[in-house]
Amino acid sequence: MSRWLLLVTVAAFAIVAGWWLLHPRSRAAPRTAAVATPLSAATALSQATAGPEATPLPESTQSVTEAPEATATPEISPAPATSANASVGPSPPSGQRTGRLALIVDDCGQWIDTERGFIALQIPLTLSVLPDVPYTREVAHEAAAAGKGVMLHLPMETVSGMNPGPGKVTTAMSDPQIAKQVEDDLAQVPLARGVNNHEGSKASADERVMHDVIGVLAQHGGLFFVDSRTSVASVGESTAQALGVPTAGRDVFLDNRTDVAYTEGQLLQAAAIARRTGQAIAIGHPRPSTLEAVRALIPRLTASGIEFVLVQDMVGSER
């Protein structure tokens, strides 16, 4: 009996050993699973930590460089970003213009290399320069020398309480204080042909404040005001009209997101408005992604009949 049991045991062992030798993948499976798990985790970590482009300024000066406030709601709300291949319409007959487009580059005087990239573009555009930042005077002179437009980008109080930077106008100021601040800021950018507000969702909605600001422009004569429309409650454009100061309002913000495809979509939207109404004003910022998007679309937009103009040639025109 014991001999029979021994034979059965040996046979069973032989069957198991044969199966093991004939199925090598079963031995490798645990090792493969162990390798796959950390690789997947590493990929997930890489994807999770990938973020937007870094802000080129130190945190101490970041408040000056913010894009339009999160609370701002443009009167012409930006549509979802469209593909750069979206149509802006058929090419017009030779020599026929289908719309004028004024580009304003806000927040200038801080990233001079990118700002020089905009100055080098072979189209009319306008640089709006902040007061009391590192390259205020330098970039204004270079832009003017290249035939580009120059504006003062006037810092104004925000609803959020974010500091818009040096030279700001606030609702707590008296009338004489506001007038003096605007005069001081204009003196920082003596080549400016006009003004638009930097931030200012609170101050631009205050009738007294805007009357004081626009009043200074009226006294200078020849200066215009572009309402950046960082608030739907802004009274900047209507106040300028009442005081006889040439004025217009922003139609599209180009770069609420730092993304080339998004900015191209916004630029196409601005071109569509220009073709529909005759003209449009688009505001962007001195970001490499914005410069890349504008540079890429210039040939296509001009071929479709869009005429790039300085904003000073547009303000006060019938829309």
Express each pLDDT in 125-166 by its tens digit. 999 999 999 999 999 999 999 999 999 999 999 999 999 999
pTM above 0.85, yes or no: no
CA distance 140 to 163: 23
* 19 and 101 fall within a common domain: no
* 7 and 77 fall within a common domain: no
How sure is the predictor about 98, in pLDDT bands with cuts at 50, 70 and 90? confident
How sure is the predictor about 49, in pLDDT bands with cuts at 50, 70 and 90? very low
Q: Residue 30: is its pLDDT beyond 60?
A: no
Q: Is residue 164 classed exposed, middle or buried when 0-12, 13-18 and 19+ CB atoms within 10 A define those classes? A: buried
* 141 and 8 fall within a common domain: no
- Cβ–Cβ under 8 Å, residues 232 and 204: no
- Total domains in the fold of the chain: 2
If you average pLDDT over residues 170-194, what whole number do you get? 98
* 128 and 234 fall within a common domain: yes
Percent of the chain with pLDDT over 70: 68
- Cβ–Cβ under 8 Å, residues 231 and 201: yes
Q: Residue 67: is its pLDDT beyond 70?
A: no
- Cβ–Cβ under 8 Å, residues 199 and 156: yes
* 15 and 101 fall within a common domain: no
52: in domain: no
Residue 26 belongs to domain spanning: 2-39
Owner of token pair 């100021």 = 173
Residues 6+ apart with CB under 8 A from 159: 69, 71, 201, 202, 231
* 135 and 281 fall within a common domain: yes
* 282 and 204 fall within a common domain: yes
319: in domain: no
CATH classification of the domain holding 84: 3.20.20.370
Q: Residue 234: is its pLDDT beyond 70?
A: yes
* 74 and 29 fall within a common domain: no
Taking the alpha carbons of 167, 172, 176, 178 in that order, is the dihedral positive or negative?
A: positive
Measured from the Cβ of residue 46, the count of other Cβ atoms closer than 10 Å reads 9
